[in-house]
Structure 1
Amino acid sequence: MNREQFAALLEKYQDGRCTEQEKLLVEHWFALLENENAGEVSESDLEGTSERMWAEMQEKTFLPDLHERNGNSPFRSIYLRWATMAASLLLIGWFFTGRVRDRHVPLTAYAWEEKRNDGTNILPVMLEDSSVVELRPGSSLRYPSRFEGGKREVVLKGNGFFSIRKNPKKPFYVHSGGVTTRVLGTSFHVSTAPDGQQTKVEVVTGLVSVYSEKTGEDAVDMLVSPNHTATFNRNSGKFSAGLADRPRMLNAGISFQFNNAPLSLVAQHMRDAWGVDVEAENSQIMNCPLTADLSGQPLFTQLDIICAALGAKYKVRGSAIRISGPGCKIRSTHAFRTRKPNHSHMQT
């Protein structure tokens, strides 16, 4: 096996495409290093290991063909013994020097597990730290049996809802569709389109940061707060901000009973209750008085009632709501208190 074949084998293993024989051999390399060399190899010792190890392997021996069916060679066990130890150091060296091409799956001494939801109902997955991931049908999750080091990392394909146990000393990372979502402890949705071209992160509680795998963590693209979304377009390589389709009330103590209250005050109450900015294209409309009881209504139903009362209209633009209209055209709001919710809002 030459160096290119060896690198290809590591990539296959991380992608889960190895044969059973290849998988066992790679895991055997890890086991040998963990049991016999634990504590003897530091990060500084491994600098340049890739080049040195490969040179020594070429001088002293070679890696046998993994597909060779004749295992009776008297030299085979010697070759395998030396090669597995060298390969283990090579693997760890690549980990520290950043030479593993697939950074979605970090190397770890613990086994990675995978759960797939091939059913029609939501599949809950309990992680080692008591965090829970709810997998939607057709989705899968890869995760380590135990979280090591200073971070917790998983790989999602498809759609999942995450309830992450808070641990400021060990942030949680979700890799999905070219996007990494970083949190300390919160709940959020991550969904990737079947074609892989779009990945959407929707936050329910807490605050998360998102960035593309290309830019890396040092260049966070967006911070996402509750009831807000970040959608990554793989073609453009950019994120766009938006609002959740069904925002959740964040502060139930906010009053929504208004008596000749200016729209600016109503907008402030909506911001405090939903975490969403309500703006106006015409600043004069913010002075228009409103008398209405919006208690117990979803966000977009509240907006429907407000606009019907003021003769205005609204649109979702990015992560804010923009109200437009000619001015104060006050109508009775009594007829709108029992109207059915209308979720035909537009996001632009």
Structure 2
Amino acid sequence: MTQQEFNQLLKRYLEGQTTEQEDQLLAEWYATPANQVELSLSDTQKGSIEKRIWQGIKTRIRPASSRRTIRMAWLSGLAACLVLGFAWLYSPSEIDPESLVATLVREHAGIEVKNTNATEQEVALPDGTTVLLAQNSSLVYGKTFNQARREVYLTGEAFFNVKRNVTKPFVVHTGELDTEVLGTSFRIQQNEKDKTTEVSVRTGKVSVYARGKNQQRERNGFIITPNQRAVYDASTRNITPGIVEEPVAVLPSKNATPALVFREASFEKVLAELTRLYGIEFVISNPMVKDCRITADLNALSMFTQLELICKSVDATYEKRGTVVFINGDSCQ
């Protein structure tokens, strides 16, 4: 196969028009010793091309069996073709595409874990991070994971419990959405049907932002904290922050959990206890409602059920506005 024929075949591959046999042909062509040329690249060039490699791999992976697979060799060949394709289409003219293949493939062989079980599958990453991978979801990361940085590519849904490392932020790429943390626990759910991705936080803080062209100093994103979520809509490229459907207690174990049994307690005090327990901010629109008295046992109830009960007892209502809950009501005097 000549270089021109290879370039034409590679262009069809990048457009998603090749067969599995043609994919294999691309990998075999690269494996020929005559096609491997050495070239030194800067770290900046390697990092830029590596991101393009794994974004392409994530969208082009085909499952090889009905069981969980960890496929390094196949991904290496595929990464080689992708590097060559991106170099051919996007790299500066002084960089030889075939040399990019030789250098980067050896450094960035990939690992894919795909869960085809009926239950969540636990994946232990080299840095101590654990991932609960949902059914029919996959996780891809490079063999250099945790050396200079920690980056993974998720398709589907997973719950992450990230090992804290302030020198190496942990980044999850899900389509166009990036989720960046130092050490925390959170869930990512990707919905292909409506083109949305939801990130919800259990502990710690998470930075969620959408990637875009020419965004060097400004990005569309939010910081979300426990019991908060951010939903990214790929069709509009908008991120909407909010509160999770079922908030859970996030009080540190060293602090005593509030009894949540109140006798003639002020409405303001009850809300303060809920904030301490769930980490959610409540705002009382009418100051005259703050001193309304509450007598209730709120134990063993979900947060929104608790909120519904105390609001009804003082003839008030609540509404969610982003990550804050507003309380509306008249004086109870």
Report if TM-score (shorter chain) is over 0.5: yes
1:133 matches 2:136: no
Instruction: Report the AA paired with residue 241 of structure 1.
Output: P
1:273 matches 2:277: yes
Partners of 1:300 and 1:192 lie apart in 2 by 25
**Residues 42 and 119 of structure 1, relative CA distance in 2, 3 Å threshold:** closer
- How far did 1:8 drift? 3.4
Find the counterpart in structure 1 of residue 180 from structure 2: 182
**Contact 1:177-1:196 at 8 Å conserved across structures:** no
1:294 matches 2:292: no
- How far did 1:316 drift? 2.0
Partners of 2:106 and 2:243 lie apart in 1 by 37
What is the correspondence of 1:75-114 to structure 2 with a 5 Å cutoff?
A: 94=91, 109-114=107-112
**Residues 145 and 200 of structure 1, relative CA distance in 2, 3 Å threshold:** same
1:41 matches 2:40: yes
Map Cα deviations across residues 90-144 of structure 1 (whole Å, 9 max, x no partner): 68x949x9xx9xxxxx977132122222232112222222212212122121112
**Contact 1:290-1:309 at 8 Å conserved across structures:** yes
**Contact 1:177-1:198 at 8 Å conserved across structures:** no
Find the counterpart in structure 2 of residue 225 from structure 1: 225
1:201 matches 2:199: yes
Map Cα deviations across residues 143-171 of structure 1 (whole Å, 9 max, x no partner): 12341543211111111111111111111
Find the counterpart in structure 2 of residue 305 from structure 1: 309
Find the counterpart in structure 1 of residue 256 from structure 2: 253
Partners of 1:163 and 1:44 lie apart in 2 by 29
**Residues 193 and 291 of structure 1, relative CA distance in 2, 3 Å threshold:** same
**Contact 1:159-1:190 at 8 Å conserved across structures:** yes
**Residues 300 and 185 of structure 1, relative CA distance in 2, 3 Å threshold:** same
**Residues 45 and 263 of structure 1, relative CA distance in 2, 3 Å threshold:** closer
Partners of 1:166 and 1:185 lie apart in 2 by 4
Partners of 2:36 and 2:42 lie apart in 1 by 18
**Contact 1:163-1:187 at 8 Å conserved across structures:** yes
**Contact 1:150-1:171 at 8 Å conserved across structures:** no
Map Cα deviations across residues 316-337 of structure 1 (whole Å, 9 max, x no partner): 22111122223328xxxxxxxx
Find the counterpart in structure 1 of residue 321 from structure 2: 317
Find the counterpart in structure 2 of residue 76 from structure 1: none
Instruction: Report the AA paired with residue 127 of structure 2.
Output: D
**Contact 1:128-1:145 at 8 Å conserved across structures:** no
TM-score (norm 1): 0.67
What is the correspondence of 1:335-346 to structure 2 with a 5 Å cutoff?
A: none
**Contact 2:13-2:23 at 8 Å conserved across structures:** no
Find the counterpart in structure 1 of residue 65 from structure 2: none
Partners of 1:320 and 1:28 lie apart in 2 by 60
Give the secondary-structure state (helix, strand or coil) at the position aligned to 1:287.
coil
Partners of 1:306 and 1:10 lie apart in 2 by 60
- How far did 1:294 drift? 2.3
**Contact 1:254-1:269 at 8 Å conserved across structures:** no
Partners of 2:31 and 2:211 lie apart in 1 by 27
Instruction: Report the AA paired with residue 327 of structure 2.
Output: I
1:234 matches 2:234: yes
**Contact 1:232-1:238 at 8 Å conserved across structures:** yes
**Contact 2:289-2:331 at 8 Å conserved across structures:** yes
Partners of 2:287 and 2:32 lie apart in 1 by 69
Find the counterpart in structure 2 of residue 341 from structure 1: none
- How far did 1:43 drift? 1.8
- How far did 1:310 drift? 1.4
**Contact 2:161-2:184 at 8 Å conserved across structures:** yes
1:284 matches 2:288: yes
Instruction: Report the AA paired with residue 42 of structure 2.
Output: E
Partners of 1:173 and 1:298 lie apart in 2 by 32
Partners of 2:19 and 2:228 lie apart in 1 by 34
Instruction: Report the AA paired with residue 256 of structure 2.
Output: G
Q: How many residues align?
A: 278
Larger radius of gyration: 1
CA RMSD of aligned residues (A): 3.9
**Residues 16 and 163 of structure 1, relative CA distance in 2, 3 Å threshold:** farther
Instruction: Report the AA paired with residue 124 of structure 1.
Output: E
- How far did 1:198 drift? 0.8
Partners of 2:304 and 2:329 lie apart in 1 by 17
- How far did 1:19 drift? 1.8
Partners of 2:19 and 2:167 lie apart in 1 by 30
Larger deviation, residues 223-232 vs 245-254: 245-254
- How far did 1:45 drift? 11
Picking from 205, 212, 217, the partner of 1:214 is 212
Instruction: Report the AA paired with residue 313 of structure 2.
Output: A
> Gapped runs of 5+ residues in structure 1?
51-83, 101-105, 330-348
